[in-house]
Structure 1
């Protein structure tokens, strides 16, 4: 029994050592876990994670603002605030599930997501403003949903290289990646 406990303790220590080692590797520069250059797939996955949180917040904010008959500015402000909230919330959920304290997880989420969400929000809201009638469209209009989907697609394409650059420098989702198992 004691041998089993010792073996379990040794495995836990080895796991902790690997996690510590993996946490240091992204800071070395343009390598993902020390196994070569950061690929577009990893950047796209990080961007999709960001897009998921942003889309939840954006859609919810646009639906609430449009349903309440708000103007463009308050609707966009609500959508942007909710995009940041849900973008950070998804990271907080994943990181705290990995056993990180809430305080530390907040730091991880801010470091991992702020630039990505900011770029995504600037691009997708800029696209929405550029599509004629998109901000005046009602929830039942195809223009509303089509413009929103188009804005997300453009934001994804613009934000993916940003995430690739961040991850390659050990920042952005490279900070979160150590907590994914």
Structure 2
């Protein structure tokens, strides 16, 4: 497993990546620190039920109170009545419709089918790792990850809202 710091993606394909918003950023983002759901999200390549596609497994590690916030926020996700909390939760965690997500009953893991990437630089077929915070704001941090049929993961894009790393790896406001 490789840790990703939102600065330097692994130079080679890996089978599992641990994503974590840097503490330096969390320290300066009161709203995010107090309202976030996750501490760590791990993404792993897994065998797909459909041999023509790939699949990824998300493992979610919640901060204290994070799962309760997620469950509460899912109650209001579809305020217009177009869905139910059970439909909102998979989407809140993966941005994939509930019909395509195999979410564990305790919300600690999910398996999602994804189209296999044609090459390590294929940015069109990706899985999304999302760090959200309470009150349904847009993504605070995210990474798009492509998956090769052989089980290798490649980070195609990543961002932390309002933050960027300088050339020395220090986090500064964007």
| TM-score tier after normalising by the smaller chain length | under 0.3
| Structure with greater contact order relative to length (CA < 8 Å, sep ≥ 6) | 1
Compare CA radii of gyration and give the structure with the larger one: 1
Which structure: greater helix fraction?
Answer: 1
TM-score by length of 2: 0.28
TM-score by length of 1: 0.27
